[in-house]
A and B are shown apart, each in its own frame.
Chain A
């Protein structure tokens, strides 16, 4: 018979999976050549949703 194997129960995910907002301009004007970088970032987009062709 196989002896029992010890199992470590790891803590679950945090209550909130929110991410921090990206750095923002405070004193100057900063060019953003490709707005996708911020629009499609995880701060305001969905990791899983891009698997959703229809």
Chain B
């Protein structure tokens, strides 16, 4: 039976959530423990939970037992709250700017996917982004999605939208609502869209998928990807997303490929490049992590050095990730000895990535920016 609510630890607190809902509630440790006990004992949902569900989401859960109504996530000693998973790098588009570079169609066998998701659940992952490649193309996508959802995760899918018209996918998202579907938009016309994605028919597939997803009322967000090929349509793309009443965000700065290639940078629109947000530290590797198609885990999508093979090491491999994160944040390599490191505001793994791609200094270093401007 599908759960109506999720109660879960989250960082140093606790949350009460409705699967797929944008709104939630912070609850106290006492509330969480009480709910956990009630779910074990087979008691009725406590009054505060019934009231919160009514107030927050308009649910009528009066008289329901806690067990079966609330999925209570167990506390985890690993301390993670979020993860991303490239289920398969295979993709039906061939975008020029893609940071994945080569996109081999391969991933874990079904049993290993289940094991990875079990590890994520045990590690405390509450929000999971399933991405690709085009994730919905993976033969196990629907099974893995459903398994993760039933494990009490809030799911975000990053997709090109081209397959969202499929009835089986629409049924899946109706039965197990996602937290969000993030769809990339690569143009506002057939010509620019198909040129950037290097696939004839990509625009039509995107429109068909978006029409179906909007009609189904799915929680969409659009990533407007602005590159040289579609730069003249940047405003039109945002306007189209607005016309559809879908929240959207423009992405203009591309990243070198995960293999250190600078090709995506060549696809950028020079006139649309934006100054990078100052980096002020992050919890990569400590509260969130990234898994590639073969369950090789890194601190994030950018810092992929020193990957941990979760299929070989099991969940205890994650205990090494925090130290890896701290090491990757140190100024080494091209930044070693920089006299300006005290005022550096650039993510070190990101800088290393650009340096390996032999990108110009000003494209990743704010001090390089000043030098460039002077």
Contact = CB atoms under 8 A, between A and B. Distances in A.
Contacts of B276: 48, 51
Interface of B: 10-17, 21-31, 48, 52, 55-56, 81-82, 95, 97-100, 127, 131, 154, 158, 179, 184, 223, 225, 251, 253-255, 276-277, 279-284, 286-288, 300-302, 325-326, 329-331, 339-344, 347-350
B155 to A, nearest CB: 12
Centre residue among A31, A35, A52 by max chain B CB count within 10 A = A52
Contacts of A34: 22-23
Nearest to B277: A47
Contacts, number: 158
A53 B282 contact: no
B23 A31 contact: yes
Given A8-B339, A51-B251, A54-B184, A31 B331 contact: no
Contacts of B52: 29
Contact of B26 (A32, A36, A47): A32
Interface class of chain A by DSSP: loop
Contacts of A42: 280-283
A13 B301 contact: no
B25 A18 contact: no
26 contacts: A10-B342, A11-B341, A12-B342, A16-B326, A16-B329, A17-B282, A17-B326, A19-B281, A19-B283, A21-B11, A21-B13, A24-B12, A29-B26, A29-B31, A35-B17, A35-B22, A35-B23, A44-B283, A46-B301, A46-B302, A48-B349, A49-B301, A51-B251, A51-B253, A51-B255, A52-B302
